[in-house]
Amino acid sequence: MSFDRRAFRNALGCFATGITVVTTANDAGEPFGLTANSFSSVSLDPPLVLFCLARSSNALDAFTASGRFAVNVLAETQRDLSVRFSTAIGDRWDGVEWEAWETGAPILKGCLASLDCTTEAVHDGGDHVILVGRVKRLSSLADGKPLLYYKGDYARVEE
């Protein structure tokens, strides 16, 4: 390798992304979720999406065992949710408004878009696993701006 970890992260950080909170629920209905910017569309037909989950995640077993997940695309007004779901605090879900659609994975209120998925495949991805989801139900807002992530910091769409 001709580069170190810092250089790799710096290069990846040049790719601006949106931010999502990916969620699932275990058999008991207990919610799990974390902030993720590794979300990507995969296929239109069938409708497939993916995100990458660190093998070190506390929610790894919940995501791989449940067979379902939801992707909640954050609006620029939801930075607090991004911080909450990427930080070790007492209970991430305390005071968070959510509902269940078809799969039972938590759909957060007020997001720009939400995608309710069954897990189509789990692939090896080094220190992450790649979860591919088949979209079963979705919603998106016609208006509203996304929360962005760029070079390791939050950003907004300027107009």
Contact residue for ligand FMN among 13, 18, 26, 38 (CB under 6 A): 38
Tell me the residue length of the chain. 159
35 binds ligand FMN (CB under 6 A): yes
Residue 108's CB is within 10 A of a number of other CB atoms, namely 22
DSSP string, 47-80: TEEEEEEETT-TTHHHHHHHSEEEEEEPBGGGHH
Contact residue for ligand FMN among 25, 49, 50, 53 (CB under 6 A): 53
- Nearest CA to 72 out of 147, 149, 151 is that of 147
For residues 45 and 126, which CB has a smaller minimum distance to ligand FMN in the complex? 126
Contact residue for ligand FMN among 26, 64, 86, 118 (CB under 6 A): 86
Contact residue for ligand FMN among 42, 48, 57, 150 (CB under 6 A): 57
70 binds ligand FMN (CB under 6 A): no
> Which among 2-10, 36-44, 71-79, 101-109 is the span making contact with ligand FMN, rule CB under 6 A?
36-44
